[in-house]
């Protein structure tokens, strides 16, 4: 099949989503100046519903559904996502490809008054949008208070500046891609806050039948980044990774291998199971699946049962 002449990119219209999409568009134009690359902006339900935590209104799929509809209807050819926002299960009619290097995958501590979580006084309020973060940080800092924080990066920073929170936790990757790296007071080490599945990785979603797009995107996929993404998402499928379950996983490339850690816990941090493993880049999915099964066997299955009982 001949190379595409035009590539229309569907994207959310938040500043971060647009910044990431312009990165992708620029790279595509630089690779082949003959390609006409257009950006199709849209607002997703996840951007509109801001008064409730994601886990209560449909989870990660709220950020991708409208973009998939645009591809189904022929209004767009590909969609740019932060991989951490993509549900573990993608419809078979779509495919995913990682794009470029992985940005710093750690979480960032942002505050106008405090230098770190350790320096915050008892009772201080921390804003976070993630049960994964809340689970780990409540366990480490039981003296602090945590509250839901929704909205795009700039909205969250504005809420911090307005004094609604004493500190907020954001993905370092998003801040750096927006040129706001100087707002990071500290990055949280993996030992304290294991990242979300796919955090820091850009993903391109496209119709699986479009072999021309698959060929065009192949040159932007890096073997180590792709392997890490596959390992983490394979674990997510085993451990039911979603906004409703506090799951974290990080696969770090080391030569031709991946060193991987993962955890699952209760939102309040009263119970957390954490495991690690190492495997080859070539068997990334197998590594993720096996680590996921080990996590469940070590107590994760009981945690999932308790979470399910709480929802019932």
CATH code of the domain in which 253 resides: 3.30.160.40
Q: Is 209 exposed, middle or buried (0-12, 13-18, 19+ CB in 10 A)?
A: exposed
Q: For residue 250, which phi and psi values (nearest 5 degrees)?
A: -145, 120
Question: Does 125 reside within a domain?
Answer: yes
- Residues marked active site are found at 85
Verify that 38 and 153 share a domain, yes or no: no
Question: Whole-angstrom Cα distance, residue 83 to residue 229?
Answer: 8
Q: What is the rounded end-to-end Cα distance, in angstroms, of the chain?
A: 50
The reply to whether 311 and 231 lie within a common domain is yes
Tell me what pLDDT residue 51 has: 47
**Number of compact structural domains in the chain:** 3
- Are residues 45 and 64 both part of a single domain? yes
Is-above-0.75 flag for pTM?
yes
Owning domain of residue 240: 222-312
Q: Is 91 in the same domain as 1?
A: yes
Predicted confidence band of residue 60 (pLDDT cuts 50, 70, 90):
low
Residues 306 and 226 grouped into a single domain = yes
pLDDT, tens digit, for every residue of 8-49? 999 988 899 999 999 999 999 999 998 999 999 987 665 554
Residue 276: inside a domain = yes
Q: Do residue 129 and residue 35 come from a single domain?
A: no
Specify the CATH number for the domain of residue 183: 3.40.190.10
Crossing angle for the helix pair 223-238 and 284-295, to the nearest 10 degrees: 30
Query: Are residues 230 and 281 both part of a single domain?
Result: yes
Domain match, 27 and 153 both: no
pLDDT > 70 fraction of the chain, expressed in percent and rounded? 92
Is the pLDDT reported for residue 80 higher than 90?
yes
Q: What is the structure's pLDDT at 242?
A: 63
What pLDDT, in 10s, does the model give residues 177-234? 999 999 999 999 999 999 999 999 999 999 999 999 999 999 999 999 999 999 999 9
For 280-305, how does the pLDDT look when each residue is reduced to its tens digit (9 = 90+)? 999 999 999 999 999 999 999 999 99
Sheet arrangement for strand 167-171: 145-148, 125-128, 167-171, 107-110, 186-188
Question: Measuring CA to CA, which residue among 220, 228, 123, 133 is closest to residue 171?
Answer: 133
């Amino acid at each position: 099949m001949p190379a595409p002449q035009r590539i229309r990119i569907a994207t959310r219209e938040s500043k971060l989503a647009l910044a990431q999409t312009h990165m992708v568009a620029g790279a595509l134009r630089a690779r082949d100046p003959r390609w006409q690359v257009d950006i199709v902006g849209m607002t997703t339900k996840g951007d509109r519903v801001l008064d409730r935590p994601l886990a209560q209104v449909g989870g990660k799929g709220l950020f991708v559904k409208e973009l998939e509809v645009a591809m189904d209807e022929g209004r767009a050819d590909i969609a740019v996502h932060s991989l951490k926002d993509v549900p573990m299960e993608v419809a078979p009619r779509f495919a995913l490809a990682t794009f470029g290097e992985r940005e710093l995958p750690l979480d960032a501590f942002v505050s106008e008054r405090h230098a770190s979580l350790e320096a915050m006084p008892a009772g201080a309020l921390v804003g976070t949008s993630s049960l994964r973060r809340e689970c780990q940080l409540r366990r480490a800092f039981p003296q602090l208070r945590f509250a839901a924080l929704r909205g795009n990066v700039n909205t969250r920073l504005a809420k911090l500046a307005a004094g609604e929170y004493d500190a907020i936790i954001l993905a370092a990757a998003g801040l750096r891609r927006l040129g706001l790296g100087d707002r990071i007071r500290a990055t949280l080490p993996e030992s304290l806050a294991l990242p979300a599945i796919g955090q820091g990785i850009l993903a391109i979603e496209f119709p699986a039948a479009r072999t021309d797009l698959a060929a065009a995107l192949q040159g932007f996929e890096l073997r180590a980044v792709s392997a890490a993404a596959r390992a983490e998402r394979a674990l997510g499928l085993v451990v039911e990774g979603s906004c409703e379950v506090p799951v974290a996983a990080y696969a770090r490339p080391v030569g031709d291998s991946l060193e991987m850690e993962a955890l699952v816990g209760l939102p309040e941090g009263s119970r957390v199971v954490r495991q690690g493993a190492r495997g080859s880049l070539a068997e990334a999915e197998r590594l993720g699946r096996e680590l996921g099964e080990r996590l469940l066997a070590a107590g994760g299955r009981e945690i999932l049962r308790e979470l399910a009982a709480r929802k019932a």
